[in-house]
Each structure stands twice: as structure tokens, then as C-alpha cells.
Amino acid sequence: MKTDRSEVGVAKVHGRCRVCGGTGLVRYLDLGVTPLANSYLSPEQLAKPEPVAELALQICDACGLSQLTRVVDRDLMFRNYLYVSSTTQTFRDHCAELAATAMRVGGAAAGDWALDIASNDGLLLSCFSGLGMRVFGVDPARNLATEATARGIPTIPEYWSPAVARDAVARHGRPRVVTATNVLAHVDDVHEFIQAVGLALAPQGILVIEVPYVLDFIRRNEFDTAYHEHLSYFGLHPLAELMRMHGLVIFDVERFAEIHGGTIRVFACRVGERTPSDRMIAMLDHEREFGITNTDVYLGFGERVRANMAQLSDLIERFRSEGRRIWAYGASAKGNTLMNFSGTTAEAVPVVVDDNPKKWGLYTPGAHMKIVGPNELAHGAVDHLLLLAWNFEREIVQRSRAAGYRGSYIRPVPAVAVFD
């Protein structure tokens, strides 16, 4: 299922574990040479070559970190960013709960500072602000940082680093709560990232990190969570090791099975400030039983994924041969990984519906599906919707039905299924 594209000089080879430095890396899934998952195209760009890089996963047999074999130039992916956190009600509700929980666990009060690293459109910080905290964010996407600042969420348009941490503290003060949701997996130098947190965090303050959970990734065949932005795939073991190396300790963890296909939220503090919870210890034990460093577990996952995508390709080809019209829903990064790995193009699925107006009128990387709004479903005469953002299945079904869609749905992950 690999493409015929040739890799260009946008990426560097990564041959050591970015957490423990180990060299015992075993490749377990090769998704081919693919375009960058969030590099959407204007009509004028369709005929031009797209930046591409190898997309393959490897496991560290020492600490259990999964990571990509390549690291793409981050400016190509993050300086102008179209994904916004507030697109779905599901994630808006999640952020409201996260803000309330972080304040309670961190012992924060109204007037204390909250910092969100990779704050995107300011959604999470607006939740903290609504609870009375003073807020500021850091995000390298200049377009989103400008918009968030204009809405009253001060945002520094840079990558998080020790220098940015010192500058942020000088401007705003030391935060009682630091959050980093869906960003640590995007970071190449995770040690610099955590070092910078230590420089900023107030005494008795907490760091709250959310990342997609590697055990859900493996068990649910969620290969499409892999794209060039997601450099690392974390379990609790490598996260605990990373914190230990910087004088921090994870003292609690929660798992959210329905957020991004399975997410863990870890709470960290400086060593000696809090006692580790029973559920954190239980999760570490569970990961050992799972075999988080057992390469056979990951190789088996790779075999299941290849079989699953062959089944999806056969299903789409059969529907097309029967004259059925197929669109997709969710112009997401995971959807672009799925389309490119399965070899499905706009010839088979010409249109993808998305709720984010920033993407309307653009085309997806590689597959070149046209992106439209949900209202187009009412007169599209569509028989099947391929759920590319399957992690928001319930919300997509509700929105598409409300828009007038009456066909069926194709769920690609964890196994191919068609349902009404």
C-alpha cells in the first residue's frame, strides 16, 4: 500500500529513542512515503509536487516509547495551522472538565496563573479564564496565536523552550497550572520541553499532560493516529522515565477512552510534593502485563492493520463497481493517513465533509478530496459516508443527519464495518 512518491529533503532520520537514548529500535509498521497530513492544498497547488516523507513506526525495546523513523521540519507543519480545538462539542466539553479538574488538583485559586503550551485557538485557556484564573498561552501557529490574542487570550507565537519559558514568566508570572494537551507527542526534543516546564512552574504547581494512549493505539488498530506531526506514541512508562530525568514525578493518571481514540491525562509535580496514586501504580503494572516493551506485540499490530486496510480497499472498490457514491466525513490528519496508506484517492471518494470553515474549498494532501461544509450533504446524493474522523463518530452522525444525509456509514477503525 505504499505510494510511488520519492521522499524529499524535509525530514531527518531519527535513530535513537528520544526519551531514554536507546538504540534498540524495532520497526513495526511502514505506512509508506506520504504527504504531510495537515498540508491542505488550494486549487492552484493541486498540480504542484507535495512535500513528502517516510511514515513508519518503531518501538524502543528499553523504555517502550514508539516513535517515527523521520522528523519533519516543524515549520512546515506548525507555523500556519488549520486544526482548531473548538471545532467539536465533544472536545469543548472535555476542556471545560480539564480546567476544573486541574484547578482542583493543583490547588489553584482565582487570580493564579494558568499556562497552556500549544494553546491553539485558546479554547482551554478560555475555560480557565471563566473560572477566574489569569491565563497566557504559547503556540507556534502564528495565525492561531494572533486570533487568540485578539479574543483576549494572550498568546506567544513561538515553540515552547527554556528561552520562551523565561520570557513568559517575566511577562506574566509563574503559573500554578501548566497544561500541555496533544503537544508532547509532536515534540522532537522532549527533554528541552520538560526542562522549560521546570523553569516556569510555580512552587507546588502541577503539570497536566494529555497524549493519545499507545495501548489504545495498539489494541484498537488506530494506525491512522500516526502522522508526521505525531513523532511519539506514549505509554505511562516512558512518560514516567522522562519526568524522572528532570526532577518531576507523575502522581496521578486518568484515561479517557473516547477522546482521540483513547487518551491519558497525567499529573506531574516536583519530586516530594505529592504522593503517587494507586491508579497510577496500577496502570504501570497493567502496561507491564500488556508487554509495552515486547516487540512481538507491535509486530502483530502491524499485521492486523495491513489486513484491515486491504479489507477497506476491497469494500470501497465493490461499492464503486455497484455504482454507489461515497463521500467522507472529517478532513482530519488521521483521515489523510488512512486515505494515503490505503491508496484511496479522490477518484473513489471525491469529497470530504468537514465542520471547520477554514478548510472549505481546499483539498486534502495526497488523495486530493475536495473539502466542503455539512450543508452539501443535503443535495449530494451520497450513499455512504466514510468516517475519517471516527473518534467523533456520534457527533458526526448527529450532524450529518441534521444536514439531511440519509445514507449509511463506513467505520474504518478498529475494524471495517458498515452501519446505518
The DSSP string of 25-87 is: EEEEEEEEEEE-TT--B-GGGTTSPPPEEEEEEEEETTT--EEESEEE-HHHHHSS----GGG
- Burial of residue 394, with CB atoms counted within 10 A of its CB: 0-12 exposed, 13-18 middle, 19 or more buried: exposed
**What is the C-alpha to C-alpha distance for residues 241 and 214, in angstroms, rounded to an integer?**
16
| Angle subtended at Cα 6 by Cα 5 and Cα 10, rounded to the nearest 5 degrees | 115
What pLDDT does 10 receive? 64
Q: Residue 169's CB: how many other CB atoms inside 10 A?
A: 18
**What is the C-alpha to C-alpha distance for residues 415 and 395, in angstroms, rounded to an integer?**
20
* CA dihedral sign of residues 8, 12, 14, 19: negative
Number of helices (H), then strands (E), belonging to the chain: the values are: 12, 19
Structural domains of the chain in order of their starting residue, each with its CATH number: 11-70 (no CATH), 85-293 (3.40.50.150), 324-419 (3.40.50.720)
**What is the C-alpha to C-alpha distance for residues 309 and 318, in angstroms, rounded to an integer?**
14
What pLDDT does 4 receive? 40
C-alpha cell at 406: 440519509
Query: Which residue type does 220 have?
Result: R
**Integer angstrom CA distances of residue 63 from 15, 19, 236, 292:** 15, 8, 10, 8
C-alpha cell at 355: 465542520
**What is the C-alpha to C-alpha distance for residues 361 and 40, in angstroms, rounded to an integer?**
10
CB 125 within 8 A of CB 182: no
**What is the C-alpha to C-alpha distance for residues 66 and 233, in angstroms, rounded to an integer?**
5
CB 201 within 8 A of CB 178: yes
Tell me the pTM.
0.89
Intervals of the chain under pLDDT 50? 1-6
